[in-house]
C-alpha cells in the first residue's frame, strides 16, 4: 500500500506519442521512500550507479519528445527494488551492491519484500504492458527500447570498460542488428555487442518479459555514464541516439502503421 510520502512507482511520458516504439527506463530514479530512511546510505552513495543509472532519465525524456514516442520510467532507486531483475532473483533487493553494504536491505522478511514488489515493481511493469497495448491498438507492432547506463569501472573490479555504448540482446536481432550497424557507422564509437552486459545470460528482466517472451522486437542499450552524467552529455547523446534509432526503425520495417502514424513517421 502506498502512502502520500511514497514516490510514484513510475511515470509515463507522451502517452499519445505516434512513434511505433515504447521507451522504458528501469533505473531512472535514485529516490527512496522516506520510511526507508535512505536505506541507511548517504546521498553520495545513492547517487552512484548502485542507486540508479545516471543520465538515463534525461536521455529518455529527450528521446520521447524527439521521436514522439511514449515512455515509461521507474520511480524508485534500484536499491529499493530492481525493476530489471526477476522478483525471485537474489539481486532483486541487494544487501550489498558493488562492494557497498545496504543496511536497509538486511534481513528483510517476506512481507517487506512483497510490499516492495506490489508497490513499485509490478505497477511499473503493468504500466509498460498497458503502453505496449496502447501502441498496438493504434495499428502498430510495438518495438521496445530499454535505456540503461553503465559505470566506467566497478569498485569490485576496477578495470576500465572501453565501450562508449553497448547493445544487449539474445535471440531476436531485429532491432539489435540495425542498431549495431548504425552505431558503428557513427565512426567514433567503441560499440559493444552484448558488452559490458550480455542478453545471453538473461540476468535482466524487462526486455525478456515484455519483448522476447511476447515476440516483440526489442533491444537494450547501455551508455557509459561518464558520457551522460551531466545535462550537456545527456543532450548530445540523445541527439546521436535519435539519429541511430530512426535509422534502426527504418531498416527494421517491423510495423504496419495506421494512417495517422504514417503521417507522423
Distance, in Å, from the CA atom of 189 to the CA atom of 170, rounded to the nearest integer, reads 22
Q: Sorting pLDDT into bands at 50, 70 and 90, what band is 4?
A: low
Residue ranges with strand state E in 45-152: 71-74, 96-97, 100-101, 143-150
Distance, in Å, from the CA atom of 160 to the CA atom of 229, rounded to the nearest integer, reads 17
pLDDT value for 199: 94
pLDDT value for 3: 57
pLDDT value for 159: 87
For residue 111, is pLDDT > 60? yes
For residue 1, is pLDDT > 50? no
Beta bridge partner(s), residue 222: 148, 166
The overall longest dimension of the chain from CA atoms, in Å, is 55
For residue 78, is pLDDT > 70? yes
For residue 216, is pLDDT > 80? yes
For residue 118, is pLDDT > 70? yes
Distance, in Å, from the CA atom of 61 to the CA atom of 238, rounded to the nearest integer, reads 9
The 3-state DSSP class for residue 176 equals: helix
Distance, in Å, from the CA atom of 250 to the CA atom of 253, rounded to the nearest integer, reads 6
Answer whether residue 5 is part of any domain: no
CB atoms within 10 A of CB 212: 18
CB atoms within 10 A of CB 213: 10
Task: State the sign of the Cα–Cα–Cα–Cα dihedral 244, 250, 251, 254.
Answer: positive
The 3-state DSSP class for residue 86 equals: coil
pLDDT value for 139: 85
β-pair type (10-13, 21-25) = unpaired
Q: What is the pLDDT of residues 120-178, one digit of tens each?
A: 999 999 999 999 999 999 888 899 999 999 999 988 777 899 999 999 999 999 999 99
Q: How distant, in Å, are the alpha carbons of 72, 91, 265 from that of 88? A: 23, 9, 40
Number of domains forming the structure of the chain: 1
pLDDT value for 157: 78
CA 227 to chain CA centroid, nearest Å: 17
pLDDT value for 202: 81
Percent of the chain with pLDDT over 90: 87
Helix (H) or strand (E) holding 126: helix 122-137
Q: Are 13 and 61 in contact (CB under 8 A)?
A: yes
Answer whether residue 90 is part of any domain: yes
Provide the whole-model pTM. Answer: 0.93
Q: Sorting pLDDT into bands at 50, 70 and 90, what band is 263?
A: very low
pLDDT value for 138: 87
Q: What is the mean pLDDT of residues 77-98?
A: 96
CATH number at residue 99: 3.40.630.40
For residue 261, is pLDDT > 50? no
Any idea which of 54-63, 210-219, 245-254, 255-264 has the lowest mean pLDDT?
255-264
Range of the domain at 217: 10-264
Q: Are 116 and 81 in contact (CB under 8 A)?
A: yes
Answer whether residue 2 is part of any domain: no
Q: What is the mean pLDDT of residues 174-186?
A: 97
Answer whether residue 1 is part of any domain: no
Distance, in Å, from the CA atom of 20 to the CA atom of 138, rounded to the nearest integer, reads 9
Average pLDDT, the chain: 92
pLDDT value for 203: 76
Peptide bond before residue 196 is cis, with ω within 30 degrees of 0: yes
Answer whether residue 3 is part of any domain: no
Q: What is the mean pLDDT of residues 103-113?
A: 97
Distance, in Å, from the CA atom of 118 to the CA atom of 98, rounded to the nearest integer, reads 26
Amino acid at each position: 500500500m502506498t502512502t502520500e510520502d511514497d514516490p510514484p512507482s513510475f511515470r509515463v511520458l507522451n502517452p499519445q506519442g505516434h512513434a511505433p516504439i515504447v521507451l522504458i527506463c528501469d533505473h531512472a530514479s535514485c529516490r527512496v521512500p522516506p520510511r526507508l530512511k535512505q536505506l541507511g546510505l548517504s546521498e553520495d552513495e545513492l547517487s552512484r550507479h548502485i542507486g540508479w543509472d545516471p543520465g538515463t532519465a534525461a536521455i529518455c525524456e529527450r528521446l520521447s519528445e524527439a521521436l514522439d514516442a511514449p515512455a515509461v520510467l521507474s520511480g524508485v532507486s534500484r536499491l529499493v527494488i530492481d525493476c530489471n531483475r526477476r522478483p525471485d532473483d537474489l539481486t532483486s533487493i541487494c544487501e550489498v551492491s558493488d562492494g557497498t553494504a545496504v543496511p536497509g536491505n538486511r534481513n528483510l522478511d517476506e512481507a517487506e519484500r512483497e510490499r516492495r514488489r506490489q508497490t513499485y515493481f509490478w505497477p511499473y511493469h503493468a504500466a509498460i504492458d498497458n503502453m505496449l497495448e496502447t501502441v498496438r491498438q493504434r495499428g502498430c507492432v510495438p518495438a521496445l527500447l530499454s535505456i540503461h547506463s553503465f559505470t566506467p569501472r566497478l569498485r569490485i573490479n576496477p578495470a576500465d570498460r572501453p565501450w562508449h555504448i553497448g547493445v544487449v540482446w539474445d535471440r531476436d536481432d531485429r532491432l539489435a542488428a540495425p542498431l549495431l550497424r548504425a552505431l558503428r557507422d557513427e565512426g567514433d564509437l567503441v560499440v559493444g555487442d552484448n558488452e559490458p552486459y550480455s542478453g545471453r545470460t538473461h540476468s535482466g528482466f524487462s526486455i525478456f518479459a515484455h519483448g522476447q517472451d511476447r515476440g516483440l522486437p526489442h533491444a537494450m542499450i547501455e551508455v557509459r555514464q561518464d558520457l551522460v552524467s551531466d545535462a550537456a552529455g545527456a543532450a548530445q547523446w540523445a541527439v546521436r541516439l535519435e539519429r541511430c534509432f530512426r535509422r534502426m526503425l527504418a531498416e527494421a520495417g517491423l510495423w504496419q502503421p495506421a494512417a495517422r502514424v504514417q503521417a507522423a513517421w
